[in-house]
Structure 1
Amino acid sequence: MTPAPVADEFLLVFVHGFKGSAEHTFLSYPERLRHILVETYPQGTVTSLVYPTYETRGSLQDAVDGLLSWLTSEVAQRESSHRAHCVVALCGHSMGGLVCMDAALTLRKNTPPGQPMWPHVGGILAYDTPFLGVHPYVFKHQLSTYHGYVDAALKVGAVLAPIGGSLASMLMPARHRETPTSSRLSAASWVGLGTAAATAVGTAAVAALTQKDPMYEAYRWISEHASFVQHLWDERGMQCRLQDVEVPFHCFYTRLPGTPPRTFIVVPPASADYARHFTPLDTQSADEVTAHMHMFSLSTNSSYLPMGTASAALLAEWLPQAGRAPAFHASIPKAEPLD
């Protein structure tokens, strides 16, 4: 393959996840990461961009196409006006990480043999991205949070039954059903729908306070967004995505104390080839969803500072592969792989 031209500008592109936003998801983290790289990449320009808020409804491919269209325009404009070659690092939170990875996979697939990828993606940083699904206990714990609205949730389950035969039973209180005993990965096949249902429970809880009947709002919500998260229960497709990606990537995921530790995402088994691309971030948040949603907050994520330096260390490793080998400071700690 023809090597990519030397990079003159390094673009950090941040993509929010399901129901996130450009204004509120990442807070000041993009600028922090840019600042670290400015100190360690003096030879070139480092720019941090937050991809504009997009609708997390419809198909995931629609979101991927939207990102690629925006990225192509952004890179073309910069390379034309600055007469520089840009290398992009895609940084996605939650489902945004899936959008980033599928965008890179699409670019690689559409690149003619022997030609460099353009726009050139030098690496992917994912933050709490459910590459293998959302952990089943996230749904269980969220149901406990909404225990006061179980009756409304059960009504929602009845309405949503046509799109998932097991949905109604999943919405039942734990004491009325058996606990699944499937493995972490096999559980992922139903976790995606469970996650959507869990959020629907939250929607139902709010609607129960403001409307006479929460069913309509819950049904509207799930019908608009279910197709976007449907990949979370495509177990085979999720594993193939991790095996097929040729661009360097790494996923940082939140981990709460417990036996076993509690995580928002399904973590790959240590035997998987791609397990080394996943690094835990220990946090003391109240629950998995809180840790997931606020991982870019310095005041709530106790691993916020290590997350930034470890992310910068990975980017420092990937930058030479993009065409230039700058003298990075060795003091930035490297992310440790899973045991």
Structure 2
Amino acid sequence: MKKTLLLCFIHGFKGGDDTFLNFPSHLKAILQHALPKVTVVAITYPKFETRGDLTECVARFKEWLQNKVIDLEVASGTPSPTVDPSVHTILMGHSMGGIVAAEALLSIINEQPIHSPQDSTSSLSGSSSLMFPYIQGVLAFDTPYLGIAPGVVAHGAEKHWNAASSAYSAYSKLGDAFGWGGKGAETTAVDASKMLPAPAQTARAVSDSNADAAAAPLWQKYGRVALFAGAAGAVAAGGAAAYMKREQISEGWNWASSHLEFIGCLARPEDMKKRLSSIAALAEKNDIGFTNIYTTLGHAVEREQKSSWTGKIRGIDRTFCNLPKGELRKFFVPAVNDKITAETLAHTSMFDPRNNPGYYSMSEHAKETVIEWAQNPWYEESDGGPTKSIGLEDEGEMVEEPEDEEFEELKREVSAEAWKKEEL
């Protein structure tokens, strides 16, 4: 019987079909070369509405995945998809997509016809578990299984504080230049009454300036006009600059606040610990893989001052994810980004070689991890590799696999891209 290794990519909340960019096709190509006995198929969960409870999101995903696997099993003519499946699936989730993957796996296991009431994971024993769809493993990418690292908030807060301090300093100097603040006034606290003149004072100042202007020579009039025009231009330019930078200034906070409605599970630490422990137990006791490849900042932030006030909060690791301690740490593998200086940007740029110099190293590690999981008796019993009309597109339509010559050309292109790593 011909076997299919299905790579199912799940984007995170607020993500979409383009979250992974070219990574699915890249990984599929290098895996197909490494696993010639099976057909490697990559599908991506289409963009979905991220509002709603996590349980509802998982239920919708499971139904979608089951339909995809059924199509593949029917196409292969599998006699019994539950007892002897021809399709093994590896769930690949980015960010919150990794939590959806973990919850989907636990849900599928709990729905098995044979299980222990005390421990739903104890009944699994390799490929005889009657699990459908059969999940070979969960490969997560920067999934916050234990929540988002405190340094993400602390580092963002520091940048916003520095930006606010700089803006206040510039505004104070501008106020002093136009006489809005009295000399000797305290500058350690914001006093609105000193920053701007009272309405009556403003009117009197304008009246006095008009009187002075009438008695002044023409060139002084022009000079005064130019002075006030320049002041108005400076204020307008400053306001325009702040307006143009509004998205960058609030990017970190908007990113976090827009997700609060969708990621309530990250506010339940006990549930997060239980979920991670359950997945780790599956990986320890059964033939199911689990790895979380997480981003960490590298050389680009090593030059930052160690005296930063967030140092004690951030710790040594500049990561997006909270990292576990003890035995669970072995399931977390770092992916260093030496270019990016912000955790959230490194998190969203994992699959972009232009912004992630470690993209190809990450891809290679993902490949080796999948190979380790997939090379088992199920793989060895496969009758052959890629065949036509066996793959699936994102919408579920049958598509043709490339001819051998086309596939070899694709592999050459992927290899050529790998050589570009040092140039990026």
Could you say if the C-alpha distance between residues 207 and 79 of structure 1 is closer, same or farther in structure 2, counting changes exceeding 3 Å?
A: farther
Aligned AA for 2:316? P
Measure how far apart 1:324 and its partner are. Answer: 2.2
Measure how far apart 1:27 and its partner are. Answer: 0.5
Equivalences for 1:228-243 in 2 at 5 Å? 228-243=262-277
Contact 2:292 2:333 in 1 (8 A): yes
Aligned AA for 2:336? D
Match of 1:134 among 139, 148, 152: 148
Q: Which residue of 2 aligns with 1:91?
A: 92
Structure-2 separation of matches of 1:322 and 1:147: 57
Structure-2 separation of matches of 1:311 and 1:207: 40
Match of 1:249 among 290, 293, 307: 290
Measure how far apart 1:295 and its partner are. Answer: 0.6
Could you say if the C-alpha distance between residues 326 and 33 of structure 1 is closer, same or farther in structure 2, counting changes exceeding 3 Å?
A: farther
Q: Which residue of 2 aligns with 1:16?
A: 11
Measure how far apart 1:242 and its partner are. Answer: 1.5
Could you say if the C-alpha distance between residues 10 and 144 of structure 1 is closer, same or farther in structure 2, counting changes exceeding 3 Å?
A: same
Larger Rg: 2
Structure-2 separation of matches of 1:320 and 1:109: 26
1:286 aligns with 2:341: yes
Equivalences for 1:66-85 in 2 at 5 Å? 66-84=60-78, 85=86
Q: Which residue of 2 aligns with 1:165?
A: none
Q: Which residue of 2 aligns with 1:38?
A: 32
Measure how far apart 1:144 and its partner are. Answer: 3.9
Contact 2:3 2:379 in 1 (8 A): no
Could you say if the C-alpha distance between residues 98 and 62 of structure 1 is closer, same or farther in structure 2, counting changes exceeding 3 Å?
A: same
SS at match of 2:260: helix
Structure-1 separation of matches of 2:295 and 2:46: 25
SS at match of 1:42: coil
My pick for the range that moved more, 120-129 or 52-61, is 52-61
Contact 1:129 1:265 in 2 (8 A): yes
Measure how far apart 1:146 and its partner are. Answer: 4.3
TM-score (normalised: structure 1): 0.69
1:314 aligns with 2:308: no
SS at match of 1:268: coil
Measure how far apart 1:296 and its partner are. Answer: 0.4
Structure-2 separation of matches of 1:208 and 1:275: 39
Contact 1:13 1:48 in 2 (8 A): yes
Q: Which residue of 1 aligns with 2:285?
A: none
Query: What is the total number of aligned residue pairs between the two structures?
Result: 257
For residues 90-129 of structure 1, the C-alpha deviation after alignment (integer angstroms, 9 at most, x for no partner) is 0000000000010001001111117421001101110000
For residues 212-262 of structure 1, the C-alpha deviation after alignment (integer angstroms, 9 at most, x for no partner) is xx9xxx8xx95x853431111211111111211223210001111356121
Could you say if the C-alpha distance between residues 318 and 233 of structure 1 is closer, same or farther in structure 2, counting changes exceeding 3 Å?
A: same
TM-score (normalised: structure 2): 0.56
Equivalences for 1:55-204 in 2 at 5 Å? 55-84=49-78, 85-113=86-114, 115-147=129-161
Q: Which residue of 1 aligns with 2:390?
A: none
Could you say if the C-alpha distance between residues 209 and 286 of structure 1 is closer, same or farther in structure 2, counting changes exceeding 3 Å?
A: closer
SS at match of 2:140: strand
Q: Which residue of 1 aligns with 2:306?
A: none
Contact 2:38 2:379 in 1 (8 A): no
Measured on the aligned residues, the alpha-carbon RMSD in Å equals 2.8
SS at match of 2:262: helix
Measure how far apart 1:208 and its partner are. Answer: 11
Aligned AA for 1:131? Y
Measure how far apart 1:325 and its partner are. Answer: 3.6
1:267 aligns with 2:323: yes
Contact 1:7 1:323 in 2 (8 A): no
